[in-house]
A and B are shown apart, each in its own frame.
Chain A
Amino acid sequence: MTEQLKGPASAREDDDWDIVIRPSKGNTPDLGLVWQYRDLVWMFFKRDFTTFYKQTILGPVWYIIQPSLTAMTYYVVFGKIANLSTDGLPPFLFYMSGTIIWSYFSACLTNNSEVFSKNANLFGKVYFPRLVVPLSVAMSGLVAFAIQFLLLLTVSIGLKIANPDLAVSYWFLFLTPLVLLYIAVLGIGAGLVVSALTVRFRDLVYAVGFMTQLWMYGTPIVYPFSQIPERYHWFYYINPMTTPVQTFRWALFDAPALPVGLCLANLAVTVAITLCGLALFSRAEANAMDTV
């Protein structure tokens, strides 16, 4: 009863199909399609946001407690005991600014590392561009950042009133969005690399948290870049998180700026990681549901 099939010769008029499904190893993700699904990014963001507040009593307070305590711990350990310099900035502002920048990045990275296994139920039942999920994760992280940033500004204004000599630059109004965009792109990119790899290697999930921790110590969070001996500078050229952290502090508190060459090198690494992440992710997307 299959005679009504046409022969393969007539079937090659592929171009007038709206959707063509054929085996593929996955190539660059279809960003146009992601744009079509922008409402879904928003809905996922809203879901994460709403459920977070419905489930916790303290809600946003956690966002404030956590970085404050971390910043204080750093102040005691690295500022008081180890006596590391803070580039002349008030220690709390120095550590706090580093912490909130880093926690935004690490949220993007770690929350994206298990995209496939955490959403297996959803991905196994309905099709949409999978990239929607990492994007919404990066958006959710912004809420925490915004709250922490407000805290940082409030404290800075307080300190400025108490001590008019404190330098507070207004560059941040312009540069903070750029810094965040940079971190989001890098965090998503690195997260995509990890998520694609965890499809194949489950045990990598355990390494992610630990690697992120190590990465933090390789980034000028608890120490300023100016303290790094010249011969180790190459490391900061390849660590793409150096630029956003240092730039953020520079924009806010006039901390010393970075050499332009280093920023460009960092930018190149970020672009490379992100492209690599997109490629690996779309490859994983093609057959993740058969293996998860």
Chain B
Amino acid sequence: MNDIVIRAEHVSKLYRLGVINHGTLYRDLQSWWAKWRNLPDPNISVSDHTSARGARSRLKGDIFHALDDVSFEVGHGEIVGIIGRNGAGKSTLLKVMSRITMPNSGFIGIRGRIASLLEVGTGFHPELTGRENVYLNGAILGMSRAEVRSKFDEIVEFAEIGEFIDTPVKRYSSGMYVRLAFSVAAHLEPEILLVDEVLAVGDVNFQNKCMGRMQEVTKAGRTIIFVSHNMTAISSICPKSILMADGKVAAMGDTADVIKAYLDRPEFGGTAIYSVNPEDVDGKAVICRVAVLNEKDELSGTVELSKGFSVEIEYELREPLSGLSVGMQIMMEDGYTPLVSLSDPELDLGRLDTRPAGYYRARVKFPGCLLNTGTFYVRLGISSRFSIYSVAEGIRFDVEDNVGIIQMLGQQRKPSISAIQLPWAVEKVFLRDSEGVLK
């Protein structure tokens, strides 16, 4: 067995809802006074109501198990992905490992210098120039000034900032800002790197560059733990993965197996509809309902190969937001994403408009035969350039061969993701005459 650089044993993290922190001295005194007189705590009842509403299996009384007996180990030079639904404990695990918060029980041992990237551009100050921010951000991430200085040119070159390095970052375009921020992070050289979804920034070219950088970094023998929603990214860079569900490690091993386990989980079961009560969810924008509709606009978990179908999304904006887009990701069972579509593409000027608060319905139409037969999963998100407001996942539908073309011809399913009929043009160039001569 190769040497272990991270070992977590029985790590648990509890959040006590409501009671622990009343927030004000007055309320604390009130509680003490009530306790002293053997009366019920006047403040506790409030939190009881709130916890009853969101009652889930992980809630025991008013204690929420964000991490529940998590154990795993990571060897030197491994790249491990952590996947799981929202709230499964992925981010909490990362926060515990990066010492931002403490576990309530258990033990984690780490060998080597560790750095965590839970966000790019942490501590960037808009008034400071790019140069000043590089030094500041580097220091925050744990680099010494000498280290930043020695990598400074490389950082600037990677970020493609050029002569703007001495301009205050408040004048940067959002793309430049993100590139510079990522570039600092990418030049960190810890032995262990914890990364949370930060690759989901910037334009496609830059994302590819980041992925390349990640792979390069691991060749240098560094260990990486990568938390992401993006199955394609996980399966392309992480040979091993850990699946988190309800605060526990649900599966661990080869990424392909783990992704399959993830998609097979009951909460991923074949529902063609997703809906939440918007009152249960906080956020500036909330996806309330997603439905897969067949050609006749009926809710349907099975659509026919040659017929069109659509996906309908209803969402609520609680405040006016700009730069907004609904993004749809179609995934296959192995986690591969054959299709991504944005309601407002990045280059679309209309995307910059502020959309007033309200309830919206968006619909995207799929032409027939676009997707070949099989099972597909839909993931939807509302995001602006910098943040993801709401994510809906677990929507599943099957594409079935309605006309039986495949069976009729006695053939196998075409080995492609798409069965779309492309427009072919066939024309006659020469004819063979009766003597067999081309002319």
Contact = CB atoms under 8 A, between A and B. Distances in A.
A47 B97 contact: no
B97 A21 contact: yes
Given A21-B108, A54-B127, A5 B72 contact: yes
B411 interface: no
A21 B103 contact: yes
Contact of B100 (A17, A47, A126, A200): A126
Contact of A291 (B7, B20, B122): B20
Contact of B107 (A20, A50, A127): A20
B116 interface: yes
Nearest to A207: B25
A247 to B, nearest CB: 35
Interface in A258-292: 286-287, 289-291
Interface stretch (B141-149, B226-234, B289-297): B141-149
B36 interface: no
Contacts of A1: 251-253, 257
Contacts of A47: 125, 128, 132, 136
B30 interface: no
Contact of A19 (B110, B122, B128): B110
B98 to A, nearest CB: 5
Nearest to B196: A125
Contacts of A40: 139-140
B370 interface: no
Interface string B240-276: 0000000001011100010000000000000000000
A14 to B, nearest CB: 6
Given A17-B111, A40-B139, A291-B21, A127 B132 contact: no
17 contacts: A2-B252, A5-B73, A17-B110, A18-B110, A19-B109, A22-B107, A43-B145, A51-B128, A54-B127, A125-B119, A126-B100, A126-B116, A126-B118, A126-B141, A200-B28, A203-B24, A291-B21
* Pairs of residues from A and B, 6 with the lowest C-beta to C-beta distance, nearest first: A17-B109, A21-B108, A19-B110, A201-B25, A43-B139, A40-B139
Given A2-B72, A18-B112, 15 more contacts: A4-B252, A21-B109, A23-B104, A24-B102, A43-B139, A46-B132, A47-B136, A54-B168, A55-B127, A123-B100, A126-B123, A126-B141, A203-B25, A289-B100, A290-B101
